[in-house]
Amino acid sequence: MKLIEERVAGEPVKIWVVERPEDLEAFRDFIRANLRGLAFDTETTGLDIYSVDYKLRLAQFGTRDTAYVIPVELFGAFEVIRALKALRVLIIQNAAFDLQVVQRCLGVPMEELWPKVKDLKIYAHLVDSRGREEGGTGTSLEDITRAYIDSEIADRVKGSMVEIAKSLKTTKAKVWKAVPLDHHGYNLYAGMDPILNVRGMEALEPRVPVVSRPLVSFEHELAEILSYYERGGFLLDEEYTLNLRGELIEREEQALAHVSGYGLENVNSTDQVADAFEALGVRIKGRTPSGKRQVDKHFLEEQLKGTGIEAELARLIIEAKKARKWRTTWVESFLDGMDANGRCHASINPLRARTARMSITGIPAQTLPSGDWMIRRCFIADPGHRIVSVDYQAQELRILAALSGDATMIQAFRDGADLHLMTAQAAWGDWVTALDPQRKYAKVVNFGRVYGGGAKTVSEQTGLSFREAKRVVEAFDLRYPGVKKLSDQLAREARENGYIVTPSGRVMYVDRDRAYAAMNYKIQGTGRDVTARGIVKLHKAGFTPYMRLPIHDETLSSLPAGQAEWGGARIAELMSETMGPVFIGTDAEVGARSWGSLYGAEV
């Protein structure tokens, strides 16, 4: 057995690397001596858990000063399984990943292990939800180590895989498969993880604000449920997706063939695009920060408004770029990520933003083209099922009404009144109808106030003059005085304390020079918690095996065709919530078999 000795925060630690089957006896003794709980981590061949050739390479267990590294790829799988079942507590960083690895590679159901988990990532987010780029500590193990344990170890050990990749002449994405199991730096990196997990938990657990402590169990429950969504996957219509890829390739090639007639070989070259337009007599006034001629999306859209050759060139460039982006960003990534059963597995981060809003990669449902059916059509319900979508009715505005206590807004929701029309009539007069453009402008104002936007933002988004935008913003504040009162109160709290607290007890830091954003944070964070509580209720009602994705304030499911209408109505009922005097209702939509059918795709 190999011993690696190191120091963390000035204290000696030992990492034992099992090299032969007979070394496992010492590991068994270690487990027996620590049945109350250990930290656990895995090293694998990458992040694509459900790919055909995916492997678990190492499994690591540890205390604050001792760790064991088990080469599961060679032997020791049985001992790792036995240890996981025997231990009463497992301290894990991002348990949703490691538990899926364990089930996929070792066959231990996640349901058996989740009740034992203390997830370091959850504690870190409750202590400080800001990312490092926002001035916070971050929630990765490297971030936690740097902030709370030992910055030198964070840089030298947790950042070492980049250097190991260079030494092996590979990339960081590929090094996980390429690095030899007995590589000293790899074993050090792996063995240090459980030691740092324990020390991170020691640092973070007492730092969780008292008001936030009820969220610890709630966030663990939510993380568990969403890991089951990930495990289940979403069925890909492979034939359609392959055909779509071919169609997008053809579209791109046709567009590129036409633009070459304008002397343009690369539509992504700023200089070439600018030269092509200037050759047509188009004057380019804008400049990039580096001083180049600006031919961005806005420039191209402006050219489309013309009737000459420049409009046709702009259309071809947009078409070529769009076809390539849709193919490489989405379609090919779906095909590459499909498992042996034809399913794609999303990666859902329940605690991505400082407001705890979720993010999804793998199936990036939150960033797909708005209102488009073509990409969504790639995904289908299970055989004999239909796609069902349930989303909240004006969730953020209803939360705003509940939190602000504004009587006019609350009554409007009770009466089913048109809130956007009410704002428009307050600004321009009772002559405004639902068909007038003023209602559209007022809608921008209504949502803009949620996000902390003032007259300048409204002017930019609607094309209204600043004077007119200011007029409608002032009308909003007069019509709904409780909203302005709440906004002022939260901004004052943010300036004085540097943070605000949501109704659920989540502490959210607010930059003092951006105190105006406090209301937006509170509404977003509260909205996320409403959706999360809905997901928990669905789980308790037995719907989780049918759930596919959470998307902002919407859930997507695959339900048996004969029960889809009933199931959609039941999901909608469970997700709805009463917040004070306001009912946050939901709408259910039952589609055909494809996700795209909810967006106009032919059945």
- Residue 213 corresponds to which tokens in the numbers above? 């402590």
Looking at the domain 2-208, which fold is it?
A: Nucleotidyltransferase; domain 5 (3.30.420)
Reported as a single tens digit per residue, the pLDDT across 331-344 is 999 999 999 999 99
Cβ neighbours for 258, distance < 8 A, ≥ 6 positions apart: 316
Cα 503 from chain centroid (whole Å):
22
| pLDDT tens per residue, range 210-245 | 999 999 999 999 999 999 999 999 999 999 999 999
Range(s) within the chain of domains with CATH label 3.30.420.10: 2-208
pLDDT computed for residue 424 by the predictor: 85
**pLDDT tens-digit map of 526-578:** 999 999 999 999 999 999 999 999 999 999 999 999 999 999 999 999 999 99
Rounded CA-CA distance 508/299 in Å is 38
187 C-beta neighbours (distance < 10 Å), count: 25
Domain 236-337 of CATH type 1.20.1060.10: yes
pLDDT at residue number 401: 95
Which of 3.30.70.370, 2.60.40.10, 3.90.1170.50, 3.40.50.300 is the CATH number of 344-395+527-599?
3.30.70.370
Gap between the Cα atoms of 186 and 73, Å rounded? 14
User: Where do the CATH 1.10.150.20 domains begin and end in the chain?
Assistant: 396-524
Question: Predicted confidence band at 25 (pLDDT cuts at 50, 70, 90)?
Answer: very high
Average pLDDT, the chain: 94
Give the residue, 17 or 438, on which the prediction is more confident. 17
pLDDT for res 107: 97
In whole angstroms, how large is the CA radius of gyration of the chain?
Answer: 27
Span 317-335, pLDDT tens digits: 999 999 999 999 999 999 9
- List every span in the chain annotated with CATH 1.20.1060.10: 236-337
pLDDT attached to residue 458: 74
Instruction: List, for residues 436-491, the tens digit of each pLDDT value.
Output: 888 888 888 888 777 766 778 777 777 778 888 888 888 888 889 999 999 999 99
pLDDT at 603: 58
pTM: 0.94
b (16+ CB within 10 A) / e for 52-87? eebbbbbbbbbbbebbbbbbbbeebbebbbebbeeb
Query: Under CATH, domain 396-524 is a member of which superfamily?
Result: 5' to 3' exonuclease, C-terminal subdomain (1.10.150.20)
Write out pLDDT tens, residues 247-292.
Answer: 999 999 999 999 998 888 999 999 999 999 999 989 998 998 888 8
